[in-house]
Each structure stands twice: as structure tokens, then as C-alpha cells.
Amino acid sequence: MPSEDEIYQEHILDHYEDPFHRGHLDGATHAHEEKNPLCGDVVRIELELDADGKIVDCYFQGDGCVISQASASMLLEEMYGKTVEEAMQYSAEDMLELFGAKLTPNRQKCCLLGWKTMLQAVHSPVK
């Protein structure tokens, strides 16, 4: 039985208050926004990919619960400097493990919102 106490661990609150690259990326080549219709959480990810498919920069914006926003920050920190291929191989299990706290299935959706956004973003060129 996952304990709610574990959700709001220090490292998660740290990412919530002091997120990695929260904001807008001027030179974005790719971007995607995803919304969880049930709770209204939103995450937008903007990426700058170079010719070799490397994520040379990435930023996120969003609105929602601690889990959705902290997990997006953790994910971008992890993906910074990785290739599109590596991003595509990053699984839901990897994401939940990175987040660290045990989550009930409902709250896993919050944690995976940024991850879903990332998978779409690498294939969504900015027009």
C-alpha cells in the first residue's frame, strides 16, 4: 500500500520550488502541450534539437499538482543533452523510478503527463 507521506518527499518539493528549466525556450525547434482532462493538469515542453537529433536545450511550462510539475522538471533535467532516440527509449517505468515516490494508479497519470508530452514533443516541429 503506497503511503501518501512518501509522495511529498524532500527531493520532490525541491523540484517543485526550484524547477529545472521552467519557462519558455526562444530557439525551440520542437514543442508539444499535453493536458490531463480529468484534473486539468497541463505541461508544455519546448525543445531545441540539433541536426544530429540531440536535445541541446529544453524548457517546460505548466499548471497543476506538485506531482505533475515536479516530475516534468525531473524529466527535463534527465533528458537535457540526450538524443531523441534516448528520449524515445525512456519508458514509463523509468519515469516512475526517477520520480522516486510510490504512486497510486491515479497519481501515476500526473507523474507521466510530462513524459507523455516529451514523447510527442520530439516529433512535433515548431512551424
List 65's β-bridge partners, or say none. none
Interacting residue with another protein among 34, 46, 48, 57 (CB under 8 A): 57
Shortest separation between residue 5's beta carbon and another protein, angstroms: 7
Distances 23 to 33, 47, 110 between C-alpha atoms, Å: 13, 12, 19
Give residue for cell 510510490. 102
Q: Are 77 and 60 in contact (CB under 8 A)?
A: no
Query: Catalytic: 65?
Result: no
**CB closer to another protein, 64 vs 114:** 64
Rounded Cα gap, residues 40 and 125, in angstroms: 25
Mark residues 18-47: x for contact with another protein by CB under 8 A, - for none: xxx-----------------xxxxx-----
**Overall residue count recorded for the chain in this entry:** 127
Interacting residue with another protein among 6, 9, 13, 123 (CB under 8 A): 13
Residue 98 is a binding residue for another protein (CB under 8 A) = no
